[in-house]
Chain A
Amino acid sequence: MMFGGVFFKQKSTPKYWAIGGLLLAIIANCIELVKQHSFFNIDIKNMLVFNNFNLIFIIVALVCTLLLFLLNGRDIEKVGNNISEYFALIFFVLCGIAIAATFNTLLTLFLGIEILSIPLYILTASDKRNLKSNEAALKYFLMGAFSTGIMLMGIAFLYGGNSVSPSFYIDNINIGAGKLPVMIAIGLVLILIAMAFKVSAVPFHFWAPDVYDGAPTVFTSFMATIVKAGGFIAFIRLFEHAFGTAQPQWQMLVALITAATLLVGNLTAVFQQSVKRMLAYSSIAQAGFMLLSIFAMNEFAKQGIILYAAAYSLATIGIFAILVKMNDYTIDGFNGLAKQQPVLAATITIFLLSLTGVPLTAGFLAKLYMLIGAVKDGHQNWLVILAVLCAAISAYYYFKIIQAIYFKESKAEITHNWDVTPAFKALLIITAALIIVLGLFPTLITDWLYYSRA
């Protein structure tokens, strides 16, 4: 298993080793994807399964992390003294994501989710002298522990409830299309709740704004994007393989959660003054869109979630990267950015347009795939209308930032201490270019899924 390589980087000199390690992992992944050839053949009793779907996702996650390191490596170093710890913890999380994306049994799923979560609690608290950071970490830890418990209980119910052939393997759970036995149904709902918690779906979202707001911004960037996307991959994989046959029975529940997530996320984001907090709510709103893929669970949804993960992560990481460099997190803080930093202003505009879902950006095609998936499913068309109306609401708050950047004058008293190197700008431009390239040629990513089918 290739991710062994990632582990051992933890004690080395921080940033460059981390970047090197990531590059290695990305190259290894790509080779595996293209050549369909694995490096190690360890007998893992088929507990993890690698196919093109999750390999592509892992590449997306790794590339995004790489970009995060390159963009904000210096800011990670500024958070505290234990620099190498931070990088190591992020690698642990990545390992957790990889396991959660490739799991084939409920146990490995649980393992992946835990490996992913525990380092996050620490990262949230890493700004030790900041009271908000501590509070956020405690909240996150308590709520997280709670959801872990619920998930374990759900797994237990599923295992115990299956009296004929109890199995942890997701393909063997096979709960059938008929009416579910009570035990199985409880297990399903409990697991659904736990997963909804991990991806911050309403009504299990209360931790998200506080944690995203309290954590050091670089780590918020990581949590709100790559980790969340990882949660979704696990979510969709679990529900497709384990509960796919019973889709009609849980679909309504997922539809309601999706609708609530879209509404609450978008409506609350409208009223935020702090951009960081607004992005926290917008990440809930975006999660609502991603939940459409769980709701629909078809070819389009599966392609869409990969594309969505990439588009959303790239854009959000870009915005956070710029946010980290600013002293003032309010929307007014962005006033007149276009004059001071035209490159930052232009790239952040592309990121925001992508989040809004304007054509030519990856965000549009991601939303398009999601909507096609949901319409194709055809059971709940009101949900689709609600989703696009919410997308229109999201245009409102994303464009408020664009307005501040381009059309408002900055106040003299706010001076940003711009710590912006040419390399940083170049990377932002690359990120923005990636978004546009994906917006024109999403087939660069999605075609791989078709090859696996052929």
Chain B
Amino acid sequence: MDQNISVTFPHALIFFPLLAGLITFLFKKDAAVKSWALLSSIITLCISLASIVYASNKALSGLAFNYEWLKYIGASFSVSLDGMGRVLTLLTAISFPIIFVATYTNTYKNANIFYGLMLLTQAGLMGVFLASDALLFYFFWELAIIPVYFLCSRWGGEKRIQATFKFFIYTFTGSLLMLVGIIYMYLQTAPVHDVAGTLVSEHSFALNYFYEAQLSQTQQNWLFWLFFIAFAVKMPVFPFHTWQPDTYEQSPTSVTMVLSGIMVKMGLFGVMRWLLPMFPLAVAKFDNIAIILSITGIVYASLIATKQDDLKRLVAYSSIAHIGLMSATIFATKQIGLEGVMIQMFNHGINIIGLWIVIDLIEKQLGVRKISQLSGVAHKAPILTILLVVIAFANIALPLTNAFVGEFMMFSGLFQFNTWYAVIALLSIILAAVYTLNMVQKVFYGETNALTATLKEITVSQQIALSIVVVAIFLTGIYPQPILNLTKDTVAALVTKFK
């Protein structure tokens, strides 16, 4: 009986949203579509929570599932749930209900297709975080993009088609280079034998075979870059980031939440799950380059963020800065830093979704999102403002908020690696305070103008969504230990590769 349960968790996390998404296409009425999407996303959240509770009592090995998919070339449908996977699947599972609740009053043309594609995206993301087979990982990696491509191009802003196309071509090119890397790695793996000892396939796509492959320094150097570009585009790290502000700006806000809250984590996750453990020698050689690129991105994006007038672009650049810090810390490969990244991946997802919700609420009511046109929102919508201020504090990483814990640990890790890197990266906190508080001050305080005078307080469902975000911010800010415990083993295993 235990065996059966253990098999179903990773499976359910992928296939439930997938099925739910396909069913959504069949609905006709918009209201029914919304309720169904919300309901199914809550069920997914329950599955995810159950998987974590279950995992805390049982050994890790119970949470893997393996099915021979393309036997002769050594690819299998194998999914497993380790600490890092649990944090990210939880983030994915928790984000979608929040997004659906917050945007409950939004109306979309062809709502069934919109919500169907959203749920398919969720399935793809789950697959990325759960796959422990390189080919399967690539499958989901691409599959998560396709629905997003259609969502942005169909329901986005004015320049949506070009922006999304740029995004797609960028990521597709990166992924294809990674595919070459995967194939090369695959051909270096050991042969697979079955229980009886007969040869099944000459190579394998399985994660542990990839980890055990013997590679020379030169091979690692090449492969490092093939993988790095794919992940760097996704995060995005400095020279590969140009698709990001345009896409965030042009996408419908609920899709932007998915993109910035969860999808960028695919890149970070990819580095930690695949790149670091596979090529330790190359990482040791190129860590400085990767960190310098990340830190350049931090400073550059923070500076640009201070100059933005469009709220969406401001948050987009702020997100580049935050992700840059995580990426820099990952390549520093220190225990405390990596633990910080794990918790910060979760926190960043929650915080940025909160920010997007606020922006969406303002834009929906007033039709604008320019800082220069807004002022005095606090007079009209005090509850919204209180909630926003908490989220904004989390964005600056003030103590008591969740981001403080994560960023503190990340900076500790970066300090251990190189003091100067940490000092320059610390600038991002100061700059974050500048642009965030500036935005809060201009938009929410001051006198109301003709436009903001028409503003109304937010509805109950929106209050609920934002309150969940705020509660999550304080909860993980004051008591982060459960999440840290979840990922401790994963990080420890990762760090031993670099001793």
Q: Are B143 and A368 in contact (CB under 8 A)?
A: no
Q: Are A391 and B161 in contact (CB under 8 A)?
A: no
Distance (Å) between the CB of B247 and the closest chain A CB? 15
Q: Are A443 and B177 in contact (CB under 8 A)?
A: no
B278-294 contact mask (Cβ, 8 Å, vs A): 1 or 0? 00000000000000000
Q: Are A372 and B186 in contact (CB under 8 A)?
A: yes
Most chain A beta-carbon neighbours within 10 Å: one of B73, B146, B187: B73
Which residue of the partner chain, among A300, A392, A442, A443, contacts B176 with CB atoms under 8 Å? A392
Q: Are B177 and A388 in contact (CB under 8 A)?
A: yes
- The verdict on B211 contacting chain A, using a C-beta distance below 8 Å, is no
A356-379 contact mask (Cβ, 8 Å, vs B): 1 or 0? 001110001000100110011000
Most chain B beta-carbon neighbours within 10 Å: one of A300, A385, A399: A399
- The verdict on A407 contacting chain B, using a C-beta distance below 8 Å, is yes
Q: Are B143 and A359 in contact (CB under 8 A)?
A: yes
- The verdict on B70 contacting chain A, using a C-beta distance below 8 Å, is yes
Q: A375-B184, A406-B153, A443-B72 are in contact. Are A395 and B168 (CB under 8 A)?
A: yes
Bound-complex Cα distance A278 to B473 (A): 53
Distance (Å) between the CB of A301 and the closest chain B CB? 13
Bound-complex Cα distance A403 to B160 (A): 11
Q: Are A353 and B146 in contact (CB under 8 A)?
A: yes
Distance (Å) between the CB of A151 and the closest chain B CB? 34
Q: Are A395 and B138 in contact (CB under 8 A)?
A: no
Q: A353-B146, A368-B179 are in contact. Are A407 and B168 (CB under 8 A)?
A: no
- The verdict on B415 contacting chain A, using a C-beta distance below 8 Å, is no
Bound-complex Cα distance A446 to B176 (A): 24
Q: Are B180 and A384 in contact (CB under 8 A)?
A: yes
**B residues near A300, Cβ cutoff 8 Å:** 73
Which residue of the partner chain, among B153, B176, B179, B186, contacts A407 with CB atoms under 8 Å? B153
B174-211 contact mask (Cβ, 8 Å, vs A): 1 or 0? 00110110011011000000000000000000000000
Which residue of the partner chain, among B142, B150, B161, contacts A358 with CB atoms under 8 Å? B142
Bound-complex Cα distance A376 to B189 (A): 12
A372-413 contact mask (Cβ, 8 Å, vs B): 1 or 0? 100110000000110011011001100100010011000000
Q: Are A399 and B70 in contact (CB under 8 A)?
A: no
Bound-complex Cα distance A389 to B173 (A): 7
- The verdict on A450 contacting chain B, using a C-beta distance below 8 Å, is yes
Residue of B nearest to A365 (CB): B70
**B residues near A446, Cβ cutoff 8 Å:** 72
- The verdict on B154 contacting chain A, using a C-beta distance below 8 Å, is yes
**B residues near A359, Cβ cutoff 8 Å:** 138-139, 142-143
**B residues near A442, Cβ cutoff 8 Å:** 70
Most chain A beta-carbon neighbours within 10 Å: one of B153, B168, B172: B172
- The verdict on B71 contacting chain A, using a C-beta distance below 8 Å, is yes
Distance (Å) between the CB of A4 and the closest chain B CB? 35
Distance (Å) between the CB of A432 and the closest chain B CB? 15
Q: Are B165 and A403 in contact (CB under 8 A)?
A: yes
Distance (Å) between the CB of A409 and the closest chain B CB? 12
Bound-complex Cα distance A395 to B70 (A): 26
- The verdict on B475 contacting chain A, using a C-beta distance below 8 Å, is no
Which residue of the partner chain, among A371, A396, A399, contacts B179 with CB atoms under 8 Å? A371
**B residues near A407, Cβ cutoff 8 Å:** 153-154, 160-161
Q: Are B183 and A360 in contact (CB under 8 A)?
A: no
**A residues near B187, Cβ cutoff 8 Å:** 372, 375-376
Distance (Å) between the CB of B209 and the closest chain A CB? 15
Q: How many residues of chain B are within 8 Å of chain A by beta carbon?
A: 28
- The verdict on B493 contacting chain A, using a C-beta distance below 8 Å, is no
Q: Are B172 and A392 in contact (CB under 8 A)?
A: yes
- The verdict on B169 contacting chain A, using a C-beta distance below 8 Å, is yes
Residue of A nearest to B178 (CB): A388
Q: A358-B146, A359-B139, A450-B72 are in contact. Are A388 and B165 (CB under 8 A)?
A: no
Most chain B beta-carbon neighbours within 10 Å: one of A358, A359, A372: A359
Bound-complex Cα distance A314 to B71 (A): 25
Bound-complex Cα distance A371 to B183 (A): 8
Which residue of the partner chain, among B142, B154, B176, contacts A388 with CB atoms under 8 Å? B176
**A residues near B138, Cβ cutoff 8 Å:** 359
Which residue of the partner chain, among A364, A375, A396, contacts B180 with CB atoms under 8 Å? A375
Which residue of the partner chain, among B72, B143, B153, B176, contacts A391 with CB atoms under 8 Å? B176
**A residues near B173, Cβ cutoff 8 Å:** 389, 392
B128-143 contact mask (Cβ, 8 Å, vs A): 1 or 0? 0000000100110011
Distance (Å) between the CB of B23 and the closest chain A CB? 17
**B residues near A450, Cβ cutoff 8 Å:** 72
Distance (Å) between the CB of A316 and the closest chain B CB? 21
Distance (Å) between the CB of A400 and the closest chain B CB? 9
In the complex, chain A residues 259-308 whose Cβ is within 8 Å of any chain B Cβ: 300
In the complex, chain B residues 65-88 whose Cβ is within 8 Å of any chain A Cβ: 70-73
Bound-complex Cα distance A104 to B77 (A): 40
Q: Are B72 and A360 in contact (CB under 8 A)?
A: no
Distance (Å) between the CB of B435 and the closest chain A CB? 33
Q: Are A360 and B165 in contact (CB under 8 A)?
A: no
Distance (Å) between the CB of A387 and the closest chain B CB? 9
**B residues near A389, Cβ cutoff 8 Å:** 173, 176
Q: Are B73 and A388 in contact (CB under 8 A)?
A: no
Bound-complex Cα distance A279 to B179 (A): 25
**A residues near B177, Cβ cutoff 8 Å:** 385, 388
Bound-complex Cα distance A372 to B186 (A): 9
Residue of A nearest to B184 (CB): A375
**A residues near B183, Cβ cutoff 8 Å:** 368, 371-372, 375, 384
Distance (Å) between the CB of A47 and the closest chain B CB? 32
Residue of A nearest to B174 (CB): A392
**A residues near B72, Cβ cutoff 8 Å:** 443, 446-447, 450
Which residue of the partner chain, among A360, A372, A375, A384, contacts B143 with CB atoms under 8 Å? A360
In the complex, chain A residues 294-349 whose Cβ is within 8 Å of any chain B Cβ: 300
Residue of A nearest to B72 (CB): A450
**A residues near B180, Cβ cutoff 8 Å:** 371, 375, 384-385, 388
Bound-complex Cα distance A406 to B155 (A): 11
Bound-complex Cα distance A28 to B387 (A): 72
Bound-complex Cα distance A389 to B226 (A): 12
Bound-complex Cα distance A230 to B150 (A): 36
A419-454 contact mask (Cβ, 8 Å, vs B): 1 or 0? 000000000000000000000001100110010000
Which residue of the partner chain, among A375, A392, A443, contacts B169 with CB atoms under 8 Å? A392
**B residues near A371, Cβ cutoff 8 Å:** 179-180, 183
Bound-complex Cα distance A392 to B174 (A): 9
Bound-complex Cα distance A395 to B187 (A): 27
Bound-complex Cα distance A371 to B72 (A): 16
Bound-complex Cα distance A376 to B146 (A): 29
Q: Are B73 and A372 in contact (CB under 8 A)?
A: yes
**A residues near B179, Cβ cutoff 8 Å:** 368, 371, 388
Bound-complex Cα distance A396 to B170 (A): 11
Bound-complex Cα distance A80 to B486 (A): 72
Q: Are B161 and A403 in contact (CB under 8 A)?
A: yes
Residue of B nearest to A443 (CB): B70
Residue of A nearest to B71 (CB): A443
Residue of A nearest to B162 (CB): A403
Q: B residues touching A (Cβ–Cβ < 8 Å)?
A: 70-73, 135, 138-139, 142-143, 146, 150, 153-154, 160-161, 165, 168-169, 172-173, 176-177, 179-180, 183-184, 186-187
- A selection of 17 A-B contacts at a CB cut-off of 8 Å is A300-B73, A353-B146, A359-B139, A371-B179, A371-B180, A371-B183, A384-B180, A388-B179, A392-B173, A392-B176, A395-B168, A395-B172, A396-B169, A399-B168, A407-B160, A442-B70, A443-B70
Using A392-B173, A403-B165 as known contacts, list a sample of 15 further A-B pairs with CB atoms less than 8 Å apart, ordered by residue number in A: A359-B138, A360-B143, A368-B179, A368-B183, A371-B183, A372-B73, A375-B180, A384-B180, A385-B177, A389-B176, A395-B172, A406-B154, A442-B70, A443-B71, A446-B72
Of all A-B residue pairs in the complex, the 7 with the closest CB atoms, nearest first, are A388-B176, A392-B173, A359-B139, A359-B142, A375-B183, A407-B153, A395-B172
